[in-house]
């Protein structure tokens, strides 16, 4: 994007800017702050990895922390305790069987149990346990929220930590399209930075792995893509 900006400036193109935000992987505080401090832009291009294809939609995210409590006891006498870990496992088994919504464009909602922790030692009945859960949503999350409340129903503590809505986006003539299953900061801008588009180099399939990388040809192609995209948007805004 910086290289595309340099080329646009060298060609005499003006009336565009670069926006950098922090916290996208954690709490999106950068985008939430930007949403309160708009600069009057009509369009925003988000550069998440789409293999340089224009995304027509992206799934949302609904994150929970599920906690359970128990009673400590020596593991030789489990009947004297109350295992928080066993309670948590029972709840997770039921949650995994909850039917999830589907969407014609975005496909199926999915669930990932991202972390599990609890207990004190192998010879102690656990008095606490918790799990981090992430749903990838395809629409209104109310049915998932209701299902989670119905399953937990006082048997644990359920905290909703984050909700980012699913998105349907628009195509643009001359750009190949795709659909992605991850979540972006676009909803957190709340429209304050203009109509959103989602396109960038790299594959999400290697993100957050030891093989995370972006092919050099895609990086080079992205410079031209961002340059052409910006010129098209500016021409349409005149």
- Residue 151, CA distances (Å) to 88, 96, 111, 155, 168 in order: 11, 10, 15, 8, 30
Q: 19-23 long-range CB contacts below 8 Å, 24 or more apart?
A: 19/44, 19/193, 21/185
Backbone angles phi, psi at 61, to 5 degrees: -135, 140
Closest to 125 (Cα-Cα) out of 71, 88, 89: 71
Backbone angles phi, psi at 233, to 5 degrees: -65, -40
Structure-token match 């595309």, residue found: 4
Q: Can you spell out the DSSP letters for 170-204?
A: ---TTS-EEEE-S--SGGGGTTTT-EEEE--SS-G
10 by DSSP, 3-state: which? helix
Give the CA count within 13 Å in the CB-facing half-sphere of 27.
4
Identify the active-site residue in 6, 24, 48, 79.
Answer: 24
Nearest-angstrom CA–CA distance, 36 and 192: 8
Q: Does the annotation count 128 as an active-site position?
A: no
Catalytic site residues? Answer: 24
């Amino acid at each position: 994007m910086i290289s595309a900006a340099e080329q646009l400036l060298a060609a005499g193109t003006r009336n565009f800017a670069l926006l950098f935000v922090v916290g996208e992987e954690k709490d999106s505080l950068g985008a939430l702050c930007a949403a309160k401090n708009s600069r009057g832009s009509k369009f925003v291009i988000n550069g998440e990895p789409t293999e340089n294809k224009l995304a027509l939609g992206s799934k949302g995210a609904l994150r929970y922390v599920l906690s359970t409590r128990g009673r400590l006891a020596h593991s030789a006498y489990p009947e004297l305790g109350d295992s928080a870990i066993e309670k948590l496992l029972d709840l997770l088994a039921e949650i995994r069987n909850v039917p999830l919504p589907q969407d014609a464009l975005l496909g199926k909602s999915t669930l990932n149990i991202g972390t599990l922790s609890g207990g004190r030692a192998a010879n102690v009945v656990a008095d606490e346990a918790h799990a981090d859960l992430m749903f990838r949503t395809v629409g209104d999350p109310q049915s998932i929220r209701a299902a989670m409340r119905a399953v937990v129903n006082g048997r644990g503590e359920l905290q909703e930590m984050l909700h980012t809505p699913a998105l349907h986006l628009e195509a643009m003539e001359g750009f190949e399209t795709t659909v992605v299953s991850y979540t972006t900061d676009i909803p957190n801008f709340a429209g304050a930075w203009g109509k959103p588009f989602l396109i960038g180099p790299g594959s999400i399939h290697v993100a957050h792995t030891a093989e995370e990388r972006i092919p050099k040809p895609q990086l080079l192609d992205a410079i031209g893509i961002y340059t052409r995209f910006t010129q098209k948007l500016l021409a349409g805004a005149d």
